[in-house]
Structure 1
Amino acid sequence: MTPSSTPRDYLVLGAGAIGGTLAHHLAAAGHPVTVVDTDAQHIAAIRAHGITVEHADGSRRAVPVARALTPQQAADAGLTTRRVLLATKGQDTETAMAWLAPRLADNGFVVSCQNGDNEPVIASFVGRERVVGAFVNIFADVVAPGVVRDGGAAAFVVGEVDGSQSERVTQTVADLQAWGPVRQTDNVQGYLWAKYGFGEILTATALVDAPMAHTIDRHRAVVAEVAREVNRIAIAEGRRLEAFDAYEPAAFLDGVAPEVTDAALDRLIAWLHTMPKDRSGVWRDIAVRGRRTEVHLDLDRYFRLADAHDLHTPLLRRLDLMLAELEEGVRDFDDANLTELGRATCLTAGSREPGR
C-alpha cells in the first residue's frame, strides 16, 4: 500500500504528542486537517504558526492546518465531521465523546489513537459500527505550545475491532502512511494487548528518573514479571498476542525458558537505546506536568479481569500504589523503587534470569 494522494478531511481531537504528530504529517501530505484541543495556548500557537515537529537533530518543520480550535470555538463554528482521530488521554475519553457525538456525521467514524482500551467507551456514545481500533506506539512529547518533539519511528496498525476488512480502514491507513509505516490488521486486539504488556514495562521504569533502557537492564526480573502478569490476563481473555517493534510478547509468557526472555530483553533494550525519547509518558506526566497518569485506568481494568479469571497480579497492584504515591508527592523517583516492587513476588532486581 502506498500513501494516499486523495485529500480527505480529518478532525484530530486532542493535539498532544500523538494527535499533534499525526495532524502534522496529514496536513503536510495535503489533507485538510482540523485540530481541536482544550489547551487554548497550544491551539493559539498552532493557529499562528502551524504544528511544528522537532527532530532529534534539532531540525524543525512547521506545517499549517486547516483549522485549530478549542472545543468551544468548534461548537460556535457549527463544526461537523466524518473522519476523527481521537488522541486524547484515556481518562478524557468520555468528556471528548460527549462533545463529539452530536457533531459526528451519520456515516462518520472514530479511530481510537490512544493508549488503553477506549473503544468500548467510544462505542457507548456513537455505536460499535462507528468505531475503528488502532495500535499506536508513537514516541513523542509536546515540548512547547504548538511544538511536538519527534520520538522516532515505531509501530502503528489500524483495524476494525471485529477483525473484518473495510474500505474506511484501507483509506485511513493509506492516509496515515504520510507519517510512516502504518499497516492494516485483522487482529488489532492482539496488538493492543501486546502493547499493554510493553506499556506496563515502560510504566515500571517511571518509578525512576533514569533512561528507560538503563532501568530495564538493571531490573530485568521485575519488568519481565510485570509483562507476564499482563500477558496472563490476555491469554485468559483468549487474545493472540502480536509482536511489534522490538517487543516480543511471547518471550514473557509462563513456561518460557529464562534465556529466551533474557535475549528478548537484550533486543528490547538495544532498540530503546536508539530512540530519541528516553523517559516514558507516564514519567513525564508525573515529573514534568504534575498530573495524574492515565495508566491507573488501564490497571483498574486489568485488576477486574484478573479477578474474573482468578489471577494474581501483585506487581501490578503494587505498581499502581507506588505511582499514586509519586503523584501525591509522598514518594521520590528512585532506583530502589524497582527493587521494592520486585519484593511483591520476592524477585531480585538485577537478576538476569527473569523466566519461570
Structure 2
Amino acid sequence: MSHKRDKILVIGAGAIGGISAAMMKLKGYDVTVIAKNRETAEKISQSGLRISGIKGDFLVKIAAEHQIRSLTFAPDVVFHATKAYDLEKSLPELLPILHSESRVLSMQNGICEPIFEKIFGAERTIGCIVGWGATMHAPDSLEMSSLGDFVIGTMDGRKDPMLPRIQEMLSSVLPVRISENMLGYLYSKLIVNSAITSLGVITGLPLGKMLSRRKIRRIFVSVMQEAMQVAEALQINVEPYGGRLDYYSFTNGNTLIDHFRRHAVIRIIGFKYRRLYSSGLQSIAKGRPTEIDFLNGYISQMGQEHQIATPVNNLIIELVKKIESGALKSEIKNIHHILKELS
C-alpha cells in the first residue's frame, strides 16, 4: 500500500536533505523543505532543486519554507537533516506542530537520537543511517556522488508500524533496511567518522593521501580501538561498517600479522575514497564548526562516564577545537601532537 498522501517535512536543504526531498517528490510524495537561509528557501520555491550525479540529472519543483513556524500543516514524517550542532535550535521549534502519530528521523552524523527522544519521546523517534554521499555545489545545485543505502529503526528495537511506510518513502532515493540494532549501526558509522572526518580536519589532506601515511594509520587504529573499548562498556553490539569492516576482528590481536592486516585494510579504504575530503574539513573551509562533539566527543564522554581511558580521542578533540578557533591550521604536522601520546 502506498502512503503518498502522507505529509513529509525535510528539515535541512543541504546535500543529503535536499536530494532526499527531491527524489521523494519525484515519486509523488507531498514534500516540503525547510531551508536555513531565507534566500535559499525562496529560490527553491521559485526555481526548484537541480539534482545531478549517479542517478541522473533533473530539476524538481518543491515547496520550501525558511521557518518551521511558517508551516500550516502537521507533518506525518519529519526527516531531520541539519548538522548536529543545529539541533538545539530546530528541535524545540518542531515539537508544537507534530501530531501524536508523527515520526521524526535523525539523519545526523553521530548518535543524536537520545536528544530527539528527550524532546519528542522514544515512541516518535526513528534512528537513521545515511550510507551514501552527496555534495552541495550551490544552494539549489546538489550532486549525488556515491551510492549506498539507508538503515532505519527504533532505538529500542521495537517494530514500529510506521517503519515500512518510512522505508517506502526513502526507497525513492536508495535501498532501505530496517534494523532492530539501530544503536549498533549508528555506533559503527560513528567510529569510522571519528577517524576519517576528524583526522581530515587535523591534517588538511584528502583521504587517499592521509591514509597512505603509516603514522596516520596508527592514529586511525587507536581511535577505533578506544571506541571499541567504550562499546564494550556500553554493551553495544557494533555492526560491521558497510557490511564489511568488522571492528571486532579489525581491532583484536597484537602480532605483526595483525598490524599488517589492519594497515592493509586502511590503505584499501584510503584508495577507494582517495579523492574525498573530510566533511569536517569542508566545514572549516566555510567558516563553520565541525561535528566533533558528536563524534569523538561521544566516545570521550561515554568513556569518562564508564571509566574507560580515551587519550587519543581526547587529544583529537582538543586539536580540532583549536583549528575551529583559528589557533591552529589544518596541516600534516599536527599529527605529531597525537604521536607523542602513542609513543
- SS for the counterpart of 1:81 is coil
Structure 2 unaligned residues grouped into runs of 5+ = none
Distance 1:124 1:158 in 2: 19
| Shift, 1:254, TM fit | 4.0
Q: Does 1:68 align with 2:64?
A: yes
The counterpart of 1:86, out of the listed 80, 87, 97, is 80
- SS for the counterpart of 2:289 is coil
The answer for the alignment partner of 2:13 in structure 1 is: 15
The answer for the alignment partner of 1:269 in structure 2 is: 270
| Alpha-carbon contact 1:205-1:216 (below 8 Å) kept | no
| Shift, 1:118, TM fit | 1.4
Distance 2:39 2:246 in 1: 40
Matches within 5 A, 1:35-50: 35-50=33-48
Distance 1:134 1:5 in 2: 21
- With 125-134 and 42-51 compared, the bigger mean Cα shift is at 42-51
The answer for the alignment partner of 1:278 in structure 2 is: 276
Name the TM-score, length of structure 2 as normaliser: 0.91
The counterpart of 1:27, out of the listed 20, 25, 28, is 25
Partner amino acid, structure 2, of 1:336: K
Q: Deviations over 1:266-301 (max 9, x none)?
A: 33223324xxx61111111112x1011122243333
- SS for the counterpart of 1:80 is coil
Structure 1 unaligned residues grouped into runs of 5+ = 347-356
| Alpha-carbon contact 1:248-1:264 (below 8 Å) kept | no
| Shift, 1:56, TM fit | 6.8
Distance 1:124 1:140 in 2: 30
The counterpart of 2:167, out of the listed 156, 170, 173, is 173
The counterpart of 2:192, out of the listed 153, 178, 198, is 198
Distance 2:177 2:281 in 1: 29
- SS for the counterpart of 2:190 is helix
Q: Does 1:327 align with 2:324?
A: yes
Question: For the structure 1 residues 248 and 43, does the alpha-carbon distance in structure 2 shift closer, same or farther, using more than 3 Å as the test?
Answer: farther
Q: Does 1:237 align with 2:238?
A: no
Partner amino acid, structure 2, of 1:210: L
- SS for the counterpart of 2:145 is coil
Q: Does 1:143 align with 2:137?
A: yes
Q: Aligned-pair RMSD on alpha carbons? A: 2.1
| Alpha-carbon contact 1:251-1:264 (below 8 Å) kept | no
The answer for the alignment partner of 1:314 in structure 2 is: 311
- SS for the counterpart of 1:293 is coil
Query: How many positions carry a matched residue from both structures?
Result: 335
Distance 1:139 1:342 in 2: 31
Partner amino acid, structure 1, of 2:207: M
- SS for the counterpart of 1:85 is strand
The counterpart of 2:209, out of the listed 211, 214, 237, is 214
Q: Does 1:184 align with 2:184?
A: no
Question: For the structure 1 residues 56 and 135, does the alpha-carbon distance in structure 2 shift closer, same or farther, using more than 3 Å as the test?
Answer: closer
Question: For the structure 1 residues 335 and 43, does the alpha-carbon distance in structure 2 shift closer, same or farther, using more than 3 Å as the test?
Answer: same
Matched residues, percent identical? 24
| Shift, 1:200, TM fit | 0.9
Distance 1:330 1:92 in 2: 24
Distance 2:231 2:13 in 1: 30
| Alpha-carbon contact 2:65-2:71 (below 8 Å) kept | no
| Alpha-carbon contact 1:136-1:155 (below 8 Å) kept | yes
- SS for the counterpart of 1:207 is helix
Distance 2:18 2:241 in 1: 23
| Shift, 1:99, TM fit | 0.5
